[in-house]
Amino acid sequence: MNSSSQSATIVYSSSSLSNINNCPQCCNVFNSSGNNPTVGGLAHWPVSGGAIFDGTTINMQTRYAPLSNPVVANGTAYGIAYNFKIGYNYSVSIDLGYSSNPSGVTPRIDASLRTSLPSANDSDPTACGPVTASKYASSIGNLNGFISPTQTGIKNYPISSSNFSVTTAQSYLIITVSKGVSTAQTMTYVTMEETLRKPGFM
C-alpha cells in the first residue's frame, strides 16, 4: 500500500460570506445565513458567540479582565466540518494575527476535535461577539493544540508541533479564541493536509 495525501485550504478573503461592513446585523457570520455557509468546500458552524467577516478576514473577539469583580473572561469559537479518519496523519495550520488594547496582551487559540457539536444551550452559538467562559469552554473538545501568537501581523502557525492522528474518528475542527483584552484575532487561511499512513508507520 502506498501512502497518498489530500489537502483542504480555506481562504476566507475570496469567500461569499456576509461582509459586516455591508451587513451591520451580520455579527455572527456563520449563523447569520441560517444555512451553515461553506468555505473551501467545508461547512462552517457557529459554536460559541459570533465570528465576524470584514470582507478579508475572520475576526473573533475576546475580553479578559482577571482583576475585575466579577472576573471577565469572554471568548469566541466556530467549527469546521471535516472527517478526521483513523489510519491517517494530519497537519493543520492557521494564518492569523491579532490586535489588543492595551497592546502586548496575547490571545490564546485552541484547536480541538469533536465527534459532534456541543449543545447550543451549553455553548451559545447564536450570540453576537464573545461569550462567557462557561459558554466557550464547552466548545473545546479533544484538545489537539493551542497557539499563542508571537506577532500582531499575520503569520502561519501549525496547531501542533508535529503531525497527529486520531484513535476515534472525529467530525469537526473547533477553533476557540480566548484570553487577550478586547482582542480581535483574525484568520485568513486554514490549511488541513491528510496523509494515509504506510503499514507499520505510526
Q: How do residues 16-56 score in pLDDT, each as one tens digit?
A: 898 998 888 889 999 865 567 899 999 999 999 999 999 99
Angstrom CA distances, 25 to 19, 31, 50, 62, 128, stand at 10, 11, 11, 19, 9
Residue 202 placed within a domain = no
Question: Would you state the pLDDT for residue 1?
Answer: 38
Residue 2, pLDDT > 50, answer no
Of 194, 191, 195, residue with least CA distance to 93: 191
Question: Would you state the pLDDT for residue 47?
Answer: 95
Residue 201 placed within a domain = no
Q: Which residues pair with 39 in a beta bridge?
A: 42
Please enumerate in sequence order all residues whose Cβ is within 8 A of that of 84, keeping only pairs 6 or more positions apart, or say none.
90, 113, 166, 169, 170, 171, 173
CATH of the domain at 63: 2.60.120.260
Question: Would you state the pLDDT for residue 3?
Answer: 52
Residue 6, pLDDT > 60, answer yes
For 120-175, write each residue's pLDDT tens digit. 999 999 999 899 989 999 999 988 888 988 888 999 999 988 899 999 999 999 99
Residue 66 placed within a domain = yes
Residue 34 placed within a domain = yes
Residue 120 placed within a domain = yes
Question: Would you state the pLDDT for residue 198?
Answer: 64
For 60-108, write each residue's pLDDT tens digit. 988 877 677 776 788 999 999 999 999 999 999 999 998 877 777 788 9
Domains: count for the chain? 1
The answer to whether 129 and 61 are in contact (CB under 8 A) is: yes
Residue 145 placed within a domain = yes
Question: Would you state the pLDDT for residue 99?
Answer: 85
pTM of the model: 0.90
**Residues spanned by the domain of 158:** 5-196
Categorize the per-residue pLDDT at 111 as very low, low, confident or very high, splitting at 50, 70 and 90: very high
